[in-house]
Amino acid sequence: MKSERAYKYRFYPTPEQEILLARTFGCVRFVWNAVLRYRTDAFYQRQEKIGYNDASAFLTQLKKQPDTAFLAEVSSVPLQQCLRHQQSAFKHFFAKLARYPRFKSKKQRQSATFASSAFAYRNGEIALAKCQEPLSIRWSRVLPSAPSTVTVSQDRAGRYFISCLCKVDAESLPITPKMVGIDLGLKDLFVTSDGKRVNNPRHTVRHACKLARAQRQLSRKQKGSNNRAKAKQKVARRHAKIADARLDHLHKLTRQIVNENQVICAESLAVKNMVKNRSLAKAISDVGWGELVRQLDYKAEWAGRQFVQIDRWYPSSKRCHGCGFVMESLPLDVRTWDCPDCGTQGIDRDINAARNILQAGTALLAGAES
């Protein structure tokens, strides 16, 4: 059975390719915003829902107008793919899986998707439509197959990336009897049910001084000047360095967890609600709980493992994993406690929670299989 996976690489465009990519990004952004405005106005003014076919016809008329003749300077495939992405965004919105699609800004990450008809993949090289030379890609690993689509992007730090969607054969890891429960935290990134603690590297704190210096330099630059644009990119590069370090650390940890355990149990957290706490918002955003759980989810599926999340209201910290007694209250500053029911002393709050999460997760799996 084959599945689709995306492989992301960095590349370095030539000056000519940079100009073409900038035009492509701008046209994709323009089409997205124009069609989104057309859809929104049609609904609020005429109570009319615009589908993909109507949006495609609107794009055809848009290309014929003299003021938007620049849309013909780039490949038409990324513009059409833009409409497909917007249709998916509205589908998720009406299914209450996402919020209403937003307008795109040139200050944010830029991207354009090319279908197989708009690029060539030969001898390990990718050439985009209307490009004279193939892209200079830094291949960190060989693609498993010819890509069906490629997405070219530029982040706010000015770096270029290409994501190749390929079909791969599903490969499950050998079955192992090990199971683990994971309790997420701030002091420790997480604590496992077998007592292992993984420290929180606090990536933002480690780069706080350099980031603050770059932000002070940016604040002193005159708005609209070239020096301000350079200073802004320095801040973006510093943020990108922090994000890359966090992502790399999480990838290594989640890969190790999935490789070693057949069943992985974690708690379900409402991170968006938790960051409303002003005193903890920065620390919660830096630790990356949501990304950690997301990686565990898809990597477990790829490897044939079982990943389950328990209810967020489950009293994992206040419940004694030995006898099941639940404390009425357990403040955050209490790290160890004694069970008044079974008499167990020195219960570690985090390890106890991880063990309870493992028990609850395996119970959920057993109920689902019965």
List residues with catalytic annotation: 183, 267, 350
Closest CA to 281 of 333, 204, 191, 207: 204
Q: What is the DSSP string of 66-130?
A: GGGGGGGGS-HHHHHHHHHHHHHHHHHHHTTSS-------TTS-EEEEEEGGGEEEETTEEEETT
Quickly tell me which residue has 């030539």 as its tokens: 14
* Cβ pair 271, 293 in contact under 8 A: no
* Those residues with Cβ within 8 angstroms of residue 182's Cβ, 6 or more apart along the chain or in another chain: 190, 191, 192, 193, 257, 264, 265, 266, 267, 354, 357
Question: Residue 347: CB partners within 8 Å, gap ≥ 6?
Answer: 320, 321, 336, 337, 338, 339
**Contact predicate 153/134, CB 8 Å:** no
Q: List helix spans (H) across the chain.
A: 15-46, 52-64, 76-94, 203-206, 208-220, 226-260, 271-274, 281-287, 289-303, 349-369
- List Cβ<8 Å contacts ≥24 apart for 281-287: 282/204, 283/186, 283/202, 284/186, 286/202, 286/203, 286/204, 286/205, 286/246, 287/184, 287/186, 287/189, 287/200
Question: Are 235 and 208 in contact, with CB atoms under 8 Å apart?
Answer: no
What are the tokens at 5? Answer: 């996976």
Please name the residue that has the structure tokens 């993984």: 198
Structure-token pair, residue 187 = 């002091």
3-state secondary structure (DSSP) of residue 61? helix
Under 8 Å CB-to-CB from 261, ≥6 apart: which residues?
176, 178, 179, 180, 305
Residue pair 263/306 in contact by the 8 Å Cβ criterion: yes
